[in-house]
Amino acid sequence: MKHISILVPKGAVLGSVEGPRQVLSEVNKLLRSMGRPTLFEVQLVGLTKEVSVAGGIYKVFTDVCAADVRKTDLIIIPALDGDMVQNLEHNQEFIPWIRKQHMAGAEVASLCVGAFLLASTGLVTGKQCATHWMAANDFRKMFPEVNLVEDKIITDEQGIYSSGGAFSYLNLILYLIEKYAGREVAVFMSKAFQIEIERKSQSPFMIFKGQKEHEDDQIKKAQEYIEQNFQEKISVEQLASMLALSRRNLERRFKKATANSIVEYIQRVKIEAAKMSLETSRENVNEVMYNVGYSDPKAFRSTFKRITGLSPVQYRSKYNLEAVA
């Protein structure tokens, strides 16, 4: 029997508390129907017996207070809603409890922006961690010592797990079900809850807006120049000369400020423009390619798929507002 502690922090997103509870409870029902013993003892764990969630719209009555949980096998940290600094202040009493349970052998999984609370424990320092792509810039700023992986929806490092954004947390729950209960049970749950079991990336859903929440004005000028002239061929030397910086200094400062190399940033700006064109226009793929400054179809398609996880044709088919084939 695995003891699962689903935390109920103040300000939790209700769905990411109830969703895992429901799916894990259904696993027990399935196992009973198969003549097998139940596997999970699921408890909602709070700092108090009653917790306000979803901006105060709902109240959740927990099964047990954290202080009364002697030992658990898996801690699930749900997503949090609103200001993350305030959320962490309101829930800081969870941090030593999570650390203590982890030292005693508990695994820990964060869902979506629950990664902020996970990172606050120090358990992912120097490790990979995923979160919602919309929160990536804030996460990097608050936890520069964590290796944030924007594109992944599941990370697993030595019993510390995290998920990508929004409902992709269900993919992590399926991953854990497969680990604990086996492939057959995980596949059944994927069908019952209509979750795409093999999805690994949130890249197709990401919208690149640039990382400008930094204080380096010269790097902001470089970013703005790239975004205004992405159709042209822009070199690192050109940007360095424009800003009167050495190439090495520019590249170091650009990476520090944006978490991208200059070449990566240029590619992401071009591909974001291509995505918008594929979503909203009737231009063919080659026309889109030329309009964003690519001349080599192979290079364009390769870069597009690496960044989005889809080919340009697949992306258009999936997201074009007029459903153009």
pLDDT digits (tens, 9 = 90+) for 238-288: 999 999 999 999 999 999 999 899 999 999 999 999 999 999 998 999 999
pLDDT at 230: 94
The predicted model gives 306-324 an average pLDDT of: 86
Whether 324 has a pLDDT exceeding 80, the answer reads: no
Q: How confident is the model at residue 185 (pLDDT cuts 50, 70, 90)?
A: very high
The predicted model gives 154-176 an average pLDDT of: 95
Question: Percentage of the chain surpassing pLDDT 70?
Answer: 99
pLDDT at 323: 55
pLDDT at 325: 44
pLDDT digits (tens, 9 = 90+) for 110-143: 999 999 999 999 999 999 999 999 999 899 999 9
Nearest-angstrom CA–CA distance, 246 and 250: 6
pLDDT digits (tens, 9 = 90+) for 62-107: 999 999 999 999 999 999 998 999 999 999 999 999 999 999 999 9
Strands 58-61 and 107-110 turn out to be unpaired
Q: Which of 204-208, 211-215, 276-280 has the highest mean pLDDT?
A: 276-280
